[in-house]
Amino acid sequence: MVNFLIFGPPGSGKGTQSVRLAEKFNLLHLSTGDMLRAEITAGTELGKKMSLIMSKGELVPDEVVIEMIAYKIDNSKGSFGFLFDGFPRTVAQTVSLEKMLNDRGMKIDKMLVLDVDHDELVKRLIARAELSGRPDDKDPAVIENRIEVYKEKTEPIIQYCNQKGIYQPVNGMGTINDIFKRLSDYMKKLI
Ligand code: ADP
């Protein structure tokens, strides 16, 4: 098994690239954002509780996403590895993920971080709002808050992973195909 984190601020293209990379390398794409939105769509109690937090651009509690991921890790078979998208988002989530993987004889093999200019992020999120109908993409103040939350709570994971020697920055500017090629080239080195 080879396990990757795809990482970067909101709008950096993690979701778009993950779907394609998972298919190319036979990885299981695990997106906590998608899982949470599925709870909201299904109208579950958890979904109802989380939707307010998400609509403000804040993070849901660590234990909620950790539990979701643990369930998926234990109930998925047949892939070559995992591609974690939008998880972990705090250092605490990272430590939990490492423990979950270590307990099962695995590790985080590489963290691929998409670097994208701030103005480009905002532009992409506003454009996405038109297509996705995601409420957290529509409001510029919520977009700015998500980028702030990323800087404050999520970015410190980069330093944590850098110390472990698994950090790999990737240029996230350009066309979807260009970025896909760059990410694929890094993944190929490990697969
Ligand atoms: P984006 O990367 O574009 O912000 P996501 O789909 O990954 O979008 O996440 C949407 C929202 O779901 C986040 O703003 C946050 O509220 C919540 N969320 C997703 N993943 C996590 C996580 N690992 N920890 C906490 N909150 C999360």
Domain CATH for 170: 3.40.50.300
Q: How many domains does the chain have?
A: 1
Banded pLDDT at 97 (limits 50, 70, 90): very high
User: How do residues 106-146 score in pLDDT, each as one tens digit?
Assistant: 999 999 999 999 999 999 999 999 888 888 999 999 999 99
Is residue 42 in some structural domain?
yes
Residue 28 CB less than 6 A away from ligand 1: no
For residue 187, tell me if it sits in a domain: no
- pLDDT at residue 63 tops 90: yes
Confirm whether 189 is domain-assigned: no
pLDDT per residue as tens digits for the range 4-39: 999 999 999 999 999 999 999 999 999 999 999 999
Model pTM score: 0.96
Q: Which of 181, 93, 75 is nearest to 84 (CA)?
A: 93
Instruction: For ligand 1, pick from 18, 32, 124, 128 the residue to mutate: most ligand atoms within 8 Å of CB.
Output: 32
* Within a domain: 111: yes
Question: What is the three-class DSSP state of 146?
Answer: helix
pLDDT, residue 22, reads 97
DSSP-derived pairing of the beta strands 81-85 and 110-115: unpaired
pLDDT digits (tens, 9 = 90+) for 146-159: 999 999 999 999 99
Residue 191 lies inside a defined structural domain of this protein: no
Cβ(129)–Cβ(137) below 8 Å: yes
Q: Which of 89, 93, 120, 148 to mutate to test the pocket of ligand 1 (most atoms within 8 A of CB)?
A: 89
Q: Is 73 in the pocket of ligand 1 (CB under 6 A)?
A: no
The three-state secondary structure class of 113 is strand
Hey, whose CA ends up nearest to atom 16 of ligand 1? 54
33 lines ligand 1 (CB under 6 A): yes
Residue with the nearest Cα to atom 23 of ligand 1?
87
Does residue 186 lie within any of the structural domains?
no
129 domain-assigned: yes
* Angle separating helix axes 62-74 and 32-42, nearest 10 degrees: 100
Nearest 5°: the CA angle 105, 108, 109 is: 105
- DSSP letter at 90 equals S
DSSP class per residue in 13-66 = SHHHHHHHHHHHHTEEEEEHHHHHHHHHHHT-HHHHHHHHHHHHTPPPPHHHHH
How distant is the alpha carbon of residue 59 from its chain centre?
Answer: 13
Give the pLDDT of residue 132: 85
> Can you state the angle between helices 156-163 and 91-103, rounded to 10 degrees?
40
Domain that holds residue 54: 2-181
pLDDT over 90 at 77, yes or no: no
